[in-house]
Amino acid sequence: MLTELTVTGNSAVLPLAMLVLSAAIAWGRRSRTAQLWATLTRR
C-alpha cells in the first residue's frame, strides 16, 4: 500500500479494500484453517 501511494501516486482505496476483503475471508475460514493446521502438524 505504501508503494501504491509513493511510487505510483495512485489512491490507496483499492489496496485497502482488497486488504479488508482478504481479512473478512480469513476470518470466515478461521475454523477450517485451524483444522488444517492441526492435521498438518500432527505426528
Q: Using CA atoms, how far apart are residues 10 and 35, in angstroms rounded to an integer?
A: 39
What is the per-residue pLDDT across 11-27, written as a single tens digit (0 to 9) for each? 778 878 889 999 999 99
What is the extent of the structural domain holding 21? 2-41
Q: Which band of pLDDT confidence, cut at 50, 70 and 90, is reported for residue 5?
A: low
Q: Which band of pLDDT confidence, cut at 50, 70 and 90, is reported for residue 1?
A: low
pLDDT number for residue 16:
85
Higher pLDDT, 28 or 1: 28
What pTM value is reported for the model? Answer: 0.60
Q: Residue 26: which of 38, 34, 16, 17 has the closest Cα?
A: 34
Angle 21-26-29 (CA atoms, 0-180°, nearest 5)? 130
Domain count for the chain: 1
Alpha helices in 1-43 (DSSP H): 2-6, 13-28, 30-41
- 19 contacts 1 by C-beta, under 8 angstroms: yes
What is the per-residue pLDDT across 28-41, written as a single tens digit (0 to 9) for each? 999 999 999 999 99
